[in-house]
């Protein structure tokens, strides 16, 4: 155990573009992303990097850690989690409960 705190990167070691990520999400839902989403160049960043890939070497070496979840599994877990939250929100709404939607700050 270390006496001093340190930062470790925990990452799958895999990379994909935003488009590839969207394709994976919609593919998991058996939907054609091009029918349900559109690309708005207004949101492109002028200094966009082409590849984002984190290096988890320090975590592997110090903790003997290895990723157990692949990118596909991560996408599926994220989609499944959001679908379950949506089901819960629908159930509450159908039962007459009023609540602040997720992601909306309290006034």
- Is residue 106 in some structural domain? no
- Is residue 36 in some structural domain? yes
Helix H, strand E, coil C: the string for the chain is CCCCCCCCCCCCCCCCCHHHHHHHHHHHCCCCHHHHCCCCHHHCCCCCCCCCCCCCHHHHHHHCCCCCCCHHHHHHHHHHHHHHHHHHHHHHHHCCCCCCCCCCCCC
More reliable by pLDDT, 76 or 16: 76
- What pLDDT is stored for residue 47 in this prediction? 77
- Is residue 27 in some structural domain? yes
- Is residue 12 in some structural domain? no
- How far, CA to CA in Å, does 19 sit from each of 9, 22, 31, 106? 24, 5, 14, 33
Domain containing 64 equals: 18-94
- Is residue 87 in some structural domain? yes
Q: Residues 3-50: pLDDT tens digits?
A: 888 899 888 888 888 889 999 999 999 999 999 999 898 888 777 677
Cα 36 to chain center, whole Å?
19
- Is residue 7 in some structural domain? no
- Is residue 49 in some structural domain? yes
- Is residue 52 in some structural domain? yes
Domains of the chain: total: 1
pTM value surpassing 0.75: no
CA-angle at 77, arms to 52 and 40, nearest 5°: 50
């Amino acid at each position: 155990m270390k006496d001093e705190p340190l930062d470790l990167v925990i990452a799958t070691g895999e990379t994909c573009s935003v488009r590839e990520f969207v394709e994976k999400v919609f593919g998991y839902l058996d939907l054609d992303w091009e029918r349900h989403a559109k690309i708005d160049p207004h949101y492109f960043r002028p200094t966009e990097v082409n590849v984002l890939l984190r290096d988890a070497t320090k975590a592997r070496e110090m903790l003997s850690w290895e990723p157990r979840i692949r990118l596909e599994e991560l996408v599926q877990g994220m989609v499944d989690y959001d679908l379950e939250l949506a089901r819960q929100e629908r159930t509450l709404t159908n039962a007459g409960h009023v609540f602040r939607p997720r992601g909306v700050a309290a006034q």
